[in-house]
Amino acid sequence: MDKQAKKTALRGITYGLYLVGTKGEAGVNAFAGNFLTQTSFEPPLVTLAVKAGTRSQQEIAQSGVFSVNILESGQKDMVTAFFRSITQEDNQLAGYPFYLKETGCPIFEDALSFFECKVVEKVEKGDHFIYVGEVINAGVHREGDPLTMKETGFYYGG
Ligand SMILES: Cc1cc2nc3c(=O)[nH]c(=O)nc-3n(C[C@H](O)[C@H](O)[C@H](O)COP(=O)(O)O)c2cc1C
């Protein structure tokens, strides 16, 4: 295989960039992720890939739940704060306030909207483990254009 062609072609996949919330023994957590897509209308399913061995991956595997926060165009600074490990401070993560609903995974007040998922299937192979989540709750804080990977100039994939 032509490795450069593989990289270029795979980087042609367009993505959003989201804050995925998790929970575990150390409290709640969130990471910035783009490997996410809807994969069924009924039941409503999404598929998420999470880097194997990270705190987030282990927490999703153990808790069987996660949240997805849709950020707004222009919130690059916010998403950038979640590329590294963070610790919970009361009701804030990396200085951004959150609250909890059905799954107990963080929902950011500053996000446009959110949904919460229960893991219904998993494929724990490769360097990212795949979790299929059934959407069991959702909410909208305000209308707006979602943040995209293209807007940030970041790449994750290829
Ligand atoms: C642009 C970009 C996109 C990313 N997308 C993902 C992703 O889809 N899945 C993932 O597991 N990590 C992704 N990461 C890496 C995580 O944000 C990073 O490993 C994070 O620190 C994991 O948090 P944790 O250590 O608290 O689990 C991405 C990083 C960048 C810079």
Q: What is the pLDDT of residue 42?
A: 98
Please indicate whether residue 60, judged by its CB atom, sits closer than 6 Å to ligand 1.
no
> Which range marks the domain in which residue 50 is found?
16-152
Nearest CA to 23 out of 89, 100, 134, 115 is that of: 100
Q: Which residues of the chain have pLDDT under 70?
A: none
Q: Is there a domain that residue 54 lies in?
A: yes
Please count the structural domains in the chain. Answer: 1
Q: Which of 17, 20, 51 to mutate to test the pocket of ligand 1 (most atoms within 8 A of CB)?
A: 51
Q: Is there a domain that residue 158 lies in?
A: no
Residues 122-143: tens digit of each pLDDT? 999 999 999 999 999 999 999 9
Q: What is the pLDDT of residue 52?
A: 98
State the CATH number of the domain containing residue 66: 2.30.110.10
Q: Is there a domain that residue 157 lies in?
A: no
Sheet holding 92-93, edge to edge: 88-89, 92-93, 96-99, 107-108
**Cα distance between residue 78 and residue 87, in whole Å:** 15
Tell me which residue has its CA closest to atom 28 in ligand 1. Answer: 33
Cis peptide before 43 (omega within 30 of 0): yes
